[in-house]
Amino acid sequence: MINHGKKVVITGSAGFIGFHLSKMLLESGAEVLGIDCLSEYYDVNLKNARIKILKSFSKFKFLKLDLVSEMDAVLSEAEAFSPGAIFHLAAQAGVRHSIDVPEAYLSNNIVATFNVLELGRKIKIKHLIIASTSSVYGANTDMPFCEEQATDTQLSFYAATKKSCESMAHAYANIYGLPVTMCRFFTVYGPWGRPDMALFKFTKNIINGVPIEVYNHGDMSRDFTYVSDVASSLMRLIDLSPLTTSPAQTDRTKSPVAPYRVLNVGNSQPTGLLSFIGAIESEVGIKAQMKFLDMQPGDVPSTFADASALYELTGSKPSTSVAAGVKEFVNWFREYYEV
């Protein structure tokens, strides 16, 4: 997969996916330059705990820098590091938060991604891999979602900013020949997850005997995708830029005019919300108290990934079962919070 000595920049390295990818790359012998502003959107102590683990590797260097306001320093460090690939995983996440604080998404998603595109152009990066989201499929109802589908009906401002990032990246790929792969992640979960995500909130509340909020009265499903599977898929993409030869089947996910590709990164096994809650109940040994609510603005009832292009390109795709993934998360949660 990864040759020893590979040099990689990861933005959002203190974040959920960024941490897991950084750790997996370091364990493979790669050298990682991690960049993160340590925003206070959620518990900074959790982010610092992730960074502490990464700093135990001699080939990890961490920079606390803001991709919106400190790009001169980022450019200087990146030029000196001379990476072979950049993973842009830093972003303002959260569908519901984007309803209350949309300006944070404009800055931390659109402006920051523009700055990273400029960074990639200036240092002539061989491959820029950028995080997108299944939320860009918006109001689409044709399941499973595949990359060729039109994505013109985003339902949240978060999704709209990520779709904007895809459009900007395609333009840069076309104008400057910048090789870009956009990865649309489907409900990533697992150990060291974000406190604002359903698995974290459900587990915490069930253990503490607090009712959990169940939207759309439980009539929802998600293509839950285990974080280590996501990190493994990202690693495999490093040397597979849209400029390289790829299986003919994956041509459908590439732009006809630019070195640009879109890939779904999902488990392709959607799970009902009530079944997901049941898996948590089984693992913690406590029945959940549920407060059933209507659908939230900006949310969608279902997601389901067609990840065949990812498999055709890399020979691998996410496959960890929800039961196994939830077990790993609950074990981590109990250990980290000593409950």
Note the pLDDT of residue 5.
63
Instruction: Round to whole Å and give the CA distance between 273 and 141.
Output: 18
Sketch out the chain's domains with CATH numbers. Answer: 7-189+225-268+304-319 (3.40.50.720)
pLDDT tens profile 293-307: 999 888 899 999 999
Dmax (CA) for the chain in angstroms is 56
Rg from Cα positions in the chain: 19
Predicted local distance difference test score (pLDDT) of residue 141: 93
Instruction: Give me the pLDDT at residue 170, please.
Output: 98
Q: Report the C-alpha gap between 184 and 188 in whole angstroms.
A: 11
Q: What is the pLDDT of residue 244?
A: 83
pTM: predicted TM-score of the whole model, two decimal places? 0.96
Average pLDDT, the chain: 95
Q: Coil, strand or helix: which one is 7?
A: strand
pLDDT, one tens digit per residue, over 87-114 is 999 999 887 788 888 999 999 999 999 9
Specify the pLDDT at position 298. 87
Q: Does the active-site annotation cover 137? A: no
Question: How large is the average pLDDT for residues 270-276?
Answer: 97
Question: Rounded to whole angstroms, what are the CA distances from 74 to 77, 120, 127, 129?
Answer: 5, 11, 17, 17
- Of the candidates 41, 105, 137, 158, the residue annotated as catalytic is 158
